[in-house]
């Protein structure tokens, strides 16, 4: 029943899968970004309270969501690697870390640029901002820990444990605006109630969210290919691949 | 699943439970030690410290904002509907600062009961809509609450 899943443990199969789908996902992402930005920055009306400044949500919100999503992917991949010793899971986790760190940085930076005119402060130590900053440090710590080892297997195992411990921070980030009174606003969309955003702003926002998902998928696939080639550099199929010139 | 994998999975789950529990305890302890967010009512009852920095939160009272002719001095009243506190501030106010808006001010209470703010922060809520829609909702009396939840009695977690 689960036979098909074994194919995803095979490096040549996953390599070809990423090579086949990667570029298509990249093009789709580009179209969505252009469409989403046009609808969001040009077509969508100004906000009744924040005026045009609110338009930063079209970057800020997708980046912030992805910063958490990528971490969850990294943690699940780390779990699979620790328990099943599946090397490809480690390749996925390792490939995700810099992408997730970038999304986190974008979320923090755009939020800061927004905060200055809206709140009157670049930064406040409220629960949401502090836990998101901790997420950035977790990503950086993960990357640093990996690079601190000479032995690749030891590096992978230590980093996987760090990734799993850090996953506790994800619910804290999400619920911080409910558990504590923060300066950051509570959730607009990710709640049980209906979204408290007008449909003309919601559509471009969701387009950007999808675009950022695809951006992650595209980058991940590219990085997985590099990771596989690096790990399997002594394998015969890699040699044949290099000789055929179709890398 | 092989016994070795089962054992590893159990170890990982145990580790996650442990870290989760530790985090919950730590956050709970942090919650109880949270610095208070004083409401105008608490200031009125004398709970707020004198000559010490603290935060006060409330709504800017309609028609209370007084800007000086020259300079950046501004005076306004904050209310939690029960009590009011007079605030003075010198500096540039955030874009969202306006009458009826929820704000947080950080500063000291002087001996006359006047709150001298060092920083004024505006809080925006989670509602996004075009101005026409906001206007229509206001007319229909269906505007979602403009006050951020928790102003008045709750604690706040940032400093």
Long-range contacts of B22-26 (CB under 8 A, 24+ apart): B23/A168, B23/A172
Examine the pLDDT at A64 and tell me if it is beyond 90. yes
Three-state secondary-structure class, residue B122: strand
**How would DSSP label each residue in A129-156?**
HHHHHHHHHHHHHHHHHHHT-SSHHHHH
Residues of A in contact with B124 (CB under 8 A): 49-50, 118-119, 185
Over pLDDT 90: what percentage of chain A? 67
**pLDDT digit string, tens, across residues B106-121:** 898 888 888 999 988 8
- Give the residue with greater pLDDT, A29 vs B122: A29
Residue B157 has pLDDT above 60, yes or no: no
Q: What is the pTM of this model?
A: 0.85
Position B150 confidence tier, pLDDT thresholds 50, 70, 90:
very low
**CB neighbour burial string for A181-205, b if at least 16 within 10 angstroms, e if fewer:** bbbbbbebbeeeeebbbbebbbbbb
Q: Do B123 and A51 touch (CB under 8 A)?
A: no
Percent of chain A with pLDDT over 70: 99
Which of the two residues, B10 and B52, has the higher pLDDT score?
B10
Confidence of residue B144 (pLDDT cuts 50, 70, 90): low
> How close, in Å, is residue B41 to chain A by CA atoms?
18
Q: What is the distance in angstroms between the Cα of B45 and the nearest Cα belonging to chain A?
A: 23
* Topology annotation, domain A12-244: 1.20.120
| Better-scored residue on pLDDT, B41 or A109 | A109
B79-103 per-position pLDDT tens digit: 888 888 999 999 888 888 888 888 8
Between chain A and chain B, the number of residue pairs with CB atoms below 8 A apart is 130
Q: Are B124 and A45 in contact (CB < 8 Å)?
A: no
Could you state, in order of their start, the residue ranges of all structural domains in chain B?
Answer: 37-140
- Probe site for chain B from A120, A162, A185, A190 (most B CB atoms < 10 A): A120
Minimal Cβ distance to A164: which of B16, B128, B159: B16
What is the DSSP code (8-state) at residue B48? S
End-to-end CA distance of chain B: 50
Query: Quick one: pLDDT band at residue A24, thresholds 50, 70, 90?
Result: very high
Distance in Å, alpha carbon of A234 to nearest chain B alpha carbon: 28
Yes or no: say if A82 and A161 are a contact pair by the CB < 8 Å rule.
yes
Say if residue A167's pLDDT is above 50: yes
Alpha carbon of A175: minimum distance to chain B alpha carbons (Å)? 12
Choose among A50, A120, A182: nearest Cβ to B158.
A182
Beta-carbon separation of B124 and A126 below 8 A: no
Q: Which residue has the higher pLDDT, A213 or A193?
A: A213
Asked if B5's CB is within 8 angstroms of A117's CB, the reply is: no
Q: Where are the domains of chain A?
A: 12-244
Please judge whether B128 and A127 are an interchain contact, meaning their C-beta atoms are less than 8 angstroms apart. no
Per-residue pLDDT reduced to its tens digit, A215-230? 999 999 999 999 999 9
> What does DSSP say about strands B102-109 and B54-60: parallel, antiparallel, or unpaired?
antiparallel
CB contact under 8 A, A185 and B34: no
pLDDT-derived band at A173 (thresholds 50, 70, 90) equals very high
Q: Using an 8 Å CB-CB cutoff, list residues of chain A that contact chain B.
A: 45-51, 53-54, 57, 79, 82-84, 117-121, 124-127, 129-130, 161, 164-165, 167-168, 172, 179-183, 185-188, 196-198, 200-201
Average the pLDDT over A35-41 and give the result. 95
Contacts of A77 in chain B (CB under 8 A): none
Whether A37 contacts A59, CB under 8 Å: no
Question: Residue A1 has what pLDDT?
Answer: 63
Mean pLDDT across B56-76: 87
CB-nearest to A48 from B19, B94, B130 is: B130
CATH code reported for the domain at B37-140? 2.40.50.140
Q: Which of A57, A123, A119 is nearest to B96 (CA)?
A: A119
- Nearest CB among A46, A84, A167 relative to B131 is that of A46
Contact call for B133 and A48, based on CB within 8 A: yes
Cβ(A154)–Cβ(B130) below 8 Å? no
| Predicted confidence (pLDDT) at residue A157 exceeds the cutoff of 60 | yes
Q: What is the ipTM of this complex?
A: 0.75
Q: How far is CA A247 from CA A9, A92, A226, A228, in A?
A: 20, 19, 10, 12
Mean pLDDT (chain A, rounded): 91
Question: Residue B146 pLDDT > 50, yes or no?
Answer: no
Which of A117, A168, A198 is opposite residue B129, by nearest beta carbon? A198
Span A87-126, pLDDT tens digits: 999 999 999 999 999 999 999 999 999 988 888 889 988 8
Average pLDDT score over chain B: 79
Nearest CB to A118 within list B12, B124, B132? B124
Joined together, the tokens standing for residue A121 give: 């402060």
Instruction: Name the minimum distance, in Å, from the CA of B94 to any CA of chain A.
Output: 4
State residue A80's pLDDT score: 94
Positive or negative torsion for Cα A35, A37, A43, A45: positive
Least trusted range by pLDDT, from A19-33, A102-116, A132-146, B31-45: B31-45
Residue A37 pLDDT exceeds 80: yes
Write down the pLDDT at residue B101: 81
Nearest CA in chain A to B119: A120
Whether B122 sits inside 8 A of A118 (CB atoms) is yes
pLDDT of residue B25: 87
Is the pLDDT at A172 greater than 60? The verdict is: yes
pLDDT band, residue A72 (cuts 50/70/90): very high
């Amino acid at each position: 029943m689960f036979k098909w899943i074994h194919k995803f443990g095979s490096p040549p199969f996953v390599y070809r899968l990423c090579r086949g789908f990667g570029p298509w996902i990249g093009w789709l992402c580009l179209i969505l970004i252009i469409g989403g930005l046009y609808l969001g920055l040009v077509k969508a009306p100004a906000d009744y309270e924040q005026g045009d400044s609110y338009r930063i949500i079209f970057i800020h919100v997708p980046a912030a969501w992805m910063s958490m999503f990528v971490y969850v992917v990294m943690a699940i991949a780390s779990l699979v690697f620790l328990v099943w010793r599946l090397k490809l899971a480690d390749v996925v986790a390792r490939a995700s870390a810099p992408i997730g760190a970038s999304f986190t940085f974008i979320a923090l930076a755009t939020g800061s640029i927004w905060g200055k005119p809206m709140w009157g402060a670049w930064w406040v130590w409220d629960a949401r901002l502090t836990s998101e900053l901790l997420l950035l440090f977790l990503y950086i710590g993960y990357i640093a820990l990996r690079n601190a080892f000479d032995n690749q297997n030891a590096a992978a195992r230590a980093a996987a444990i760090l990734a799993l411990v850090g996953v506790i921070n994800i619910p804290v980030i999400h619920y911080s605006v409910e558990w504590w009174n923060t300066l950051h606003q509570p959730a607009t969309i990710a709640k049980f109630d209906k979204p408290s955003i007008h449909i003309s702003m919601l559509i471009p926002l969701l387009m950007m969210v999808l675009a950022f998902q695809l951006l992650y998928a595209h980058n991940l696939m590219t990085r997985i290919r590099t990771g596989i080639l690096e790990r399997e550099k002594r394998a015969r199929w890699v040699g044949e691949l290099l000789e055929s010139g179709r890398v | 699943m092989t016994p070795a994998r089962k054992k590893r999975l159990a170890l990982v789950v145990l580790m996650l439970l442990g870290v989760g529990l530790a985090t919950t305890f730590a956050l709970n302890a942090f919650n109880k030690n949270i610095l208070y967010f004083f409401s105008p009512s608490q200031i009125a009852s004398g709970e707020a410290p004198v000559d010490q920095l603290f935060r006060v939160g409330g709504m800017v009272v309609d028609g209370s904002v007084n800007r000086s002719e020259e300079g950046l001095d501004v005076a306004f009243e904050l209310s939690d509907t029960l009590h009011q506190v007079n605030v003075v501030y010198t500096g540039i106010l955030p874009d969202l600062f306006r009458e009826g808006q929820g704000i947080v001010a950080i500063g000291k209470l002087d001996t006359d009961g006047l709150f001298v703010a060092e920083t004024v922060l505006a809080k925006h809520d989670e509602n996004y809509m075009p101005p026409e829609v906001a206007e229509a909702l206001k007319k229909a009396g269906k505007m979602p609450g403009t006050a951020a939840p928790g102003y008045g009695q709750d604690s706040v977690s940032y400093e």
